Chains A and B, each alone.
Chain A
Amino acid sequence: MIDIKNLKVNVDEKQIIKGLNLKINKGEVHAIMGPNGSGKSTLSYALSGKDGYEADGEIIYNGENILNYNTEERAQKGIFLAFQYPTEIPGVFTNNFLRTSLNAIKRAKGEKEINAVEFLNLIKEKSLKLKIDKEMLSRPLNVGFSGGEKKRNEILQMSLLEPNFIVMDETDSGLDIDALKIVSNGVNAMRSNERSFLIITHYQRLLNYIKPDFVHVFSDGKIVKSGDWKLALELENDGYAKFVN
Chain B
Amino acid sequence: MNDIEKLKNHFEDFKNSKLINSENVKSRIEAFERFCKKGIPNLKQEHWKYSPLSKDLIQFEDLKFSSNQNDDFDDCYLEKFDHYKVLVKNGIFIGGDIKKEGLEISKYKKDHFYEIKSNQILDFNNAFFTPGFEIRVDSNFNVQKPIVIYNFFSKDFNGNNINNKNYIFLDTNAKVEIFEKNIFEDESYLFFTKNLDIELESNSRLIKYYLNSTNKNKTIYNFIRSKLKKNSQFEKFNFSHNVNSCRDEIISDLNGENSYVSLNNIQHLSKKCFHEIKWEVNHNEPNTKSSQFVKSALHDESVAAFQGKIFVDSKAQKTDGYQLSRALLLSDNSKFLSKPELEIYADDVKCSHGSSSGSIDDDSIFYLRSRGINEQDAKKMMIEGFLAEVINKIKNNEIRNIFYNKLNEINKV
Contacts and interface: CB of A to CB of B under 8 A. Distances in A.
A181 B392 CA distance: 36
A230 to B, nearest CB: 33
A86 interface: yes
A104 B377 contact: yes
Contacts of B388: 91
A199 interface: no
Given A75-B371, A104-B374, A97 B381 contact: yes
Interface residues of A, number: 27
Interface string A100-112: 1100110010000
B364 to A, nearest CB: 5
A81 to B, nearest CB: 5
B58 interface: no
Contacts of B189: none
A92 interface: yes
B197 interface: no
B382 A92 contact: yes
A87 B366 CA distance: 9
Nearest to B363: A87
Given A50-B366, A51-B362, A89-B364, A140 B385 contact: yes
A109 to B, nearest CB: 10
Interface in B193-215: none
B386 A101 contact: no
Nearest to A102: B372
Interface of B is mostly: helix
Contact of A89 (B362, B367, B369, B374): B367
Contacts, number: 76
Residue from the set A71, A157, A161 with the largest chain B CB neighbour count within 10 Å = A71
Contacts of A71: 366, 369-370
Contacts of B372: 72, 75-76, 101, 104-105, 108, 161
A92 B381 contact: yes
Given A51-B362, A90-B389, A75 B370 contact: yes
Contacts of A76: 372
Residue from the set A76, A100, A140 with the largest chain B CB neighbour count within 10 Å = A100
Contacts of B381: 92, 97, 100
Interface in A37-95: 48, 50-51, 70-72, 75-76, 80-81, 83, 86-87, 89-93
A104 B363 contact: no
Nearest to A96: B381
Contact of B373 (A48, A83, A93, A101): A101
Interface string B351-385: 00000000001111011111111110110011011
Interface residues of B, number: 25
B371 A87 contact: no
Contact of A72 (B373, B387, B389): B373
B370 A81 contact: yes
Contacts of A92: 368, 381-382, 384-385
A91 B385 contact: yes
Interface string B383-399: 01111110010000000
Contacts of B375: 70, 72
A80 B368 CA distance: 12
Contacts of B366: 48, 50-51, 71, 87
A100 B367 contact: no
A108 B367 CA distance: 18
A161 B370 contact: no
A7 B128 CA distance: 73
Contact of B367 (A70, A83, A91): A83
Contacts of A97: 368, 371, 381
Given A72-B378, A101-B373, 5 more contacts: A72-B369, A89-B368, A91-B389, A104-B372, A140-B385
Interface of B: 361-364, 366-375, 377-378, 381-382, 384-389, 392
Ranked nearest first, the 9 interchain pairs of A and B with the lowest CB-CB distance are A91-B385, A101-B371, A92-B385, A75-B372, A71-B369, A87-B367, A105-B372, A104-B372, A72-B369
Interface of A: 48, 50-51, 70-72, 75-76, 80-81, 83, 86-87, 89-93, 97, 100-101, 104-105, 108, 140, 157, 161
